[in-house]
């Protein structure tokens, strides 16, 4: 019983520390944090390789990429994985499992997407303020980058005009 309780305490501690690290990365988004996380995740080959790829992509952008640039890379990888999953043959189970595992990991770093209702409300308030489509799209991209689908936003604008 004592051994089991000690083991449970260790597992809880490890999970707690991992959550702290994940939250720090979510808040910081720096290359240094990605490299630290990569070392922690070295036992998980899929996540380790994913982090290696993210770091490589970020280093191509800049020696010291901004949080926004790191988030852009993460969002692009997530979107590309989703596209590949939708096009991938069902018999490629290993590839699908890898992509799904990667996306589950990446998803924890992405900002919460706006619901269609939230997006409609934001667009409605911008239309009420007298803004046209280009001003609304600029506003959305500046304030809610990565949290909405541009095609859906355009459809909503057209339906509300």
Model confidence pLDDT, tens digit, residues 34-93: 888 888 888 999 999 999 999 999 999 988 787 778 888 998 999 999 999 998 888 888
Helix 67-87 with 93-107: angle, nearest 10 deg: 150
Position 154 scores a pLDDT of: 94
Position 143 scores a pLDDT of: 83
Residue 114's pLDDT band (boundaries 50, 70, 90)? Answer: confident
Rounded CA separation 106/78 (Å): 6
Position 15 scores a pLDDT of: 64
Position 37 scores a pLDDT of: 85
pLDDT tops 80 at residue 28: no
| Residues contacting 161, CB < 8 A, separation 6+ | 127, 133
Single out the residue of 50, 31, 33 nearest to residue 101, CA to CA: 50
Mean pLDDT of the chain: 83
Q: What is the mean pLDDT of residues 13-39?
A: 67
Residue 18's pLDDT band (boundaries 50, 70, 90)? Answer: low
pLDDT tops 70 at residue 145: yes
Percent of the chain past pLDDT 70, that is, above it, reads: 82
């Amino acid at each position: 019983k004592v051994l089991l309780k000690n083991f449970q305490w260790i597992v809880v501690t490890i999970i707690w520390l991992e959550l702290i690290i994940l939250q720090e990365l979510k808040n910081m988004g720096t290359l240094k944090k990605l490299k630290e996380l990569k070392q922690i995740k070295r036992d998980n080959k899929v996540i380790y390789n994913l982090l290696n790829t993210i770091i490589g992509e970020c280093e191509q952008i800049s020696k010291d990429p901004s949080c926004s640039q790191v988030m852009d890379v993460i969002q692009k990888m997530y979107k590309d994985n989703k596209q590949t999953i939708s096009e991938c043959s069902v018999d490629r189970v290993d590839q699908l499992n890898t992509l799904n595992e990667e996306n589950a990991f990446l998803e924890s770093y992405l900002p919460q997407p706006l619901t269609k209702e939230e997006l409609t409300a934001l667009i409605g308030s911008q239309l009420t303020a007298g803004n046209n489509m280009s001003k609304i799209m600029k506003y959305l991209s500046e304030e809610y980058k990565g949290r909405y689908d541009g095609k859906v936003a355009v459809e909503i604008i057209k339906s509300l005009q």
